[in-house]
Structure 1
Amino acid sequence: MAFLKIDREARQGYSLIAPPFLYSVLVLAAPLITILIYSFFFYKTGYSSLEPGFTLQNYQELWADPIFRAIMQRSLWVSGLVTVVTVALAFPVAYYVSFVVAPERKALWLFLITIPFWTSYLIRVFLWKVIMEQNGVINSVLVGTGIVENPVTMLRSVGAIVMTLAHAYAPFAILPIFVALEKIDRSLLEAGRDLGESRLMTFWRVTLPLAMPGVIAAVLIVFIPTVGDYVTPELIGGGRIPMVANFIQTQMLGLDNRPLGSAMSVSAMLAVAVVSAIFLILNRKFLKVRQ
């Protein structure tokens, strides 16, 4: 009887998880599998650019291309820079909300942090373009106050892309860090100060190590999607600082070379996975040493 009860409970559990599992497979796994299969197809010019089969020529051609390697390196570097800037700016905000703001006001602060999500990501990027263009808000203030004589060129630069992406992904970094800080037992901080540690050393030895899971989550949440961001390099960079997503779009839609574009997509995912895995391994060793 007990076996039948367990079997019945197992079937009920499977019936509960089946719908979201199938949904995940259809929405997430199916497109990835399709892209992976396309990456091994043959490409030929003519009426149809796809010829089913299996070839590694797309990957060989791709990684032999110095342009793709340069764009991939740039994408990883820009995304890494965005991640560092975003997390560095997000940590003080999360720390302030967790340790300084009164408990009854924390919900209000979190509500204010999520306000940027009320507008479309595309609209936010356009707003930054308006702010930083030649006759935009920043240049109008600089020229109007006499700080500069001629408008400063801010668009079509890596700095402009980093600034825009850091603002767009700031809430994604603040929230996981805030959650990690909220889980810290305040008595540990009091014990550190009672033992004669300064506030700075207590932060360095107690608060920061305990908050590292949130920092790790923030890094991955920001780094992974910014590598494949298409809108910001296109609008803010003006197409002059292409990243890997722009290169994929050119191959997939502009040149209709879907096998090569798929190979680019798979290669970019593998590169991001490798960098993320290395970061996790290094960070895990660091945390073990700190403990």
Structure 2
Amino acid sequence: MRQRVGRYLLLTPLGVTSILTVVIALGLITVLSFQRTDPAALFTDFTWAAYQDNVARPLFWRVLGRSLVISALVTIVTIVLAYPVAYFISFKAGQAKHILLVIVSAPFFTSYLLRIFGWKIILGFNGVLNSALLGLGLIDQPLAFLVYNPGAVIIALSHAYLAFAILPIYVSLDRIERALLEAASDLGARPASVFLKIVLPLSAPGVISAAVLIFVPTVGDYITPTLVGGPEGVMVANLIQSAFGKANDWPAGSAMSVATILTVGIPLLILFSLGHRRARSNA
């Protein structure tokens, strides 16, 4: 009993912080989404106007669909790039794994905004890549399609969130008992079979965690689309930011935020519940 109480006490700071920064904030956004737009008053009478005027528009769902596609592609690209790196650090790096983990974590010590600006400099019309291609004589004029499109957003976001994929995948790989791999090899299993039948399934929790850590934040990212996305790379967070900022229409921004949270959150909750039930049934 004392141990259980002690565990709950350890979780108290996190629980209080979550309530103050997440639950109350979501509650206020939900309440504001049912308010009438009035610059002179924060809370007004109950109305569905914000949902009818903003969420019901085809533009919102078109931009939200684009955001989900971009985030899904970023998630896939990032995991495909991160898995070999995490595998190498876990199985091949030996004593150098700690140094490599520090190198992987190095981007966290730099500003996210600076990293995105870096990609803008690299992919820009007069950027590093175009200058290099011109200098090598491979092109006659700068390539305009490298930036200000969804592809540039995918490249920049994949680089920005790469560490978020490497670390959880590495943790899952590092927890795999090496005796299982040795036993499979002794029984005649080929390296490809060992990877597909043992390593990959056991590392699936890390891959799923990495996918969630990447997909959810990238849906709500508005800095990268603003800097390298252009008109074709606008995401739903840009609409929400414009509603709260330039338009000063908090009910509209709140309504779009609630719709986005429900669109992304409900499928994730269903997947988590199904995965939990499957884990319990297998146990």
Scaled by the length of structure 1, the TM-score of the pair is: 0.88
- How far residue 286 of structure 1 moved from its aligned partner, in angstroms, is 9.3
Give % identity: 42
Conserved? CA contact 1:43–1:51, under 8 Å: no
1:35 has 2:26 as partner: no
For residue 196 of structure 1, give the secondary structure of its aligned residue in structure 2.
coil
Conserved? CA contact 2:157–2:224, under 8 Å: yes
Residue deviations 1:250-283 (CA, integer Å, cap 9, x gap): 1111111111110111111111113424554677
Pair member with larger Rg? 1
Conserved? CA contact 1:169–1:222, under 8 Å: yes
Conserved? CA contact 2:168–2:206, under 8 Å: yes
Q: Quick check: 25-34 or 149-158, which moved more?
A: 25-34
- How far residue 57 of structure 1 moved from its aligned partner, in angstroms, is 3.0
Pairwise CA RMSD of aligned residues?
2.7
- How far residue 69 of structure 1 moved from its aligned partner, in angstroms, is 0.6
For residue 110 of structure 1, give the secondary structure of its aligned residue in structure 2.
helix
Residue 194 of structure 1 aligns with an amino acid whose one-letter code is D
Q: Select which of 99, 109, 115 maps to 1:108.
A: 99
| Matching residue of 1:230 | 222
| Matching residue of 2:58 | 66
The separation in 2 between residues aligned to 1:191 and 1:100, in whole angstroms, is 19
Conserved? CA contact 1:72–1:243, under 8 Å: yes
Conserved? CA contact 1:41–1:53, under 8 Å: yes
- How far residue 191 of structure 1 moved from its aligned partner, in angstroms, is 1.9
- How far residue 190 of structure 1 moved from its aligned partner, in angstroms, is 1.7
The separation in 2 between residues aligned to 1:142 and 1:235, in whole angstroms, is 23
For residue 42 of structure 1, give the secondary structure of its aligned residue in structure 2.
coil
The separation in 2 between residues aligned to 1:87 and 1:81, in whole angstroms, is 10
Conserved? CA contact 1:49–1:256, under 8 Å: no
Residue deviations 1:157-192 (CA, integer Å, cap 9, x gap): 111110100000000000000000001011111222
| Matching residue of 2:135 | 144
Structure 1 30/157 Cα, relative in aligned 2: closer, same or farther at 3 Å? same
The separation in 2 between residues aligned to 1:229 and 1:9, in whole angstroms, is 41
1:81 has 2:99 as partner: no
Q: Select which of 91, 113, 117 maps to 1:122.
A: 113
Conserved? CA contact 1:248–1:264, under 8 Å: yes
1:245 has 2:237 as partner: yes
Conserved? CA contact 1:71–1:244, under 8 Å: yes
| Matching residue of 1:3 | none
Residue 198 of structure 1 aligns with an amino acid whose one-letter code is R
The separation in 1 between residues aligned to 2:85 and 2:160, in whole angstroms, is 15
Long gaps (5+) in structure 1: 1-5
Residue 190 of structure 1 aligns with an amino acid whose one-letter code is E
The separation in 1 between residues aligned to 2:66 and 2:184, in whole angstroms, is 43
Residue deviations 1:215-268 (CA, integer Å, cap 9, x gap): 000000000000000100000113542101100011111111111110111111
Scaled by the length of structure 2, the TM-score of the pair is: 0.91
Q: Quick check: 47-56 or 256-265, which moved more?
A: 47-56
| Matching residue of 1:90 | 82
Q: Quick check: 272-281 or 157-166, which moved more?
A: 272-281
| Matching residue of 2:182 | 190
Conserved? CA contact 2:32–2:43, under 8 Å: no
Long gaps (5+) in structure 2: none
